[in-house]
Amino acid sequence: MIQQIQKDFAPWFDKLSEEQLAKIVENQVSLNYNKGEILSKQGGFASHIIFLSEGLIKIYKEHNDKNLILKIVKPGEFIGLSSLYNKGIFDYSAASIDSSKVYSIQAEIVKYLIRNNSDFAEKIIGQLNQNTSQYFERIMSLTQKQLHGRIADAILHLSREIYESDTFNMLLTRRDLADFCGMSTESAIRILKEFHNDRIVNIDGKNMHVISYQLLERLSEVG
């Protein structure tokens, strides 16, 4: 068990002391979530930080029925860091889009580590800033590009950042994809079909195969 934790967290704690490791082990619980289950609700207390060990999580905001998926989190990343030293409230919801395994760590422990392990603090800042860069990309995609460009961006993101393969089972429903691209479900479906017909990607249900990254990038570029 301790070995598993050590392994999962390895990239985050180069210089973790015995004492610090013990603190983590003692103040953490391991949880499993099924597809569709909610890990945290927008507005809830952010007393814990979640570390995703296996699976896939969507981070989303709710607004008048409609959802917007802010980020798709893959294993090795923390969820809820942005609540640290902030309002102590989650400003987004998180739900599992695949069966997932997580460690839930008390926020106080993460703060303790930040204070007592500058290496960890630097890495946390690094992840926060990487997320911010990603959010900037998303803002540009969502606000400056039209439907084709947005879907192209989403497929590129899924292929390169999330699944790291040109062929993947995307798990996201059409509705999720639409929520990720800030468009109606019908539009998402229509454009996926167009991309399929134009031989840019090959789509069979949720299975997706990227045929031409070049065309996707072109679409992303022109918006």
Partner DNA sequence: GAAAATTTATGATTTACCTCAAATTTAGGT
Partner DNA sequence: ACCTAAATTTGAGGTAAATCATAAATTTTC
Q: In the complex, which residues of this chain contact DNA (CB under 7 A)?
A: 35, 146-148, 173-175, 182-187, 189-190, 192-193, 205-206
Instruction: Give CA–CA dist 161/184, Å, rounded.
Output: 24
Q: Between 26 and 204, whose beta carbon lies closer to DNA?
A: 204
Q: Which of 25, 34, 136, 167 binds a copy of itself (CB under 8 A)?
A: 136
**CB 11 within 8 Å of CB 53:** no
Burial per residue of 66-94, b for 16 or more beta-carbon CB atoms within 10 angstroms, e otherwise: ebbbbbbbbeebbbbbbbbeeeeebebbb
The interface partner of residue 138, options being a copy of itself, DNA, none and the CB cut-off 5 to 8 Å by kind, is a copy of itself
The interface partner of residue 101, options being DNA, a copy of itself, none and the CB cut-off 5 to 8 Å by kind, is none
Instruction: Give CA–CA dist 97/64, Å, rounded.
Output: 22
The interface partner of residue 190, options being DNA, a copy of itself, none and the CB cut-off 5 to 8 Å by kind, is DNA
Residues 13-72 that bind a copy of itself (CB under 8 A): 61, 63-64, 66, 68, 70
Instruction: Give CA–CA dist 155/159, Å, rounded.
Output: 6
Instruction: Give CA–CA dist 182/66, Å, rounded.
Output: 9
What residues line the site for a copy of itself (CB under 8 A)? 61, 63-64, 66, 68, 70, 81-87, 91-92, 111, 114-116, 118, 121-126, 128-133, 135-136, 138-140, 142-144, 182, 222-223
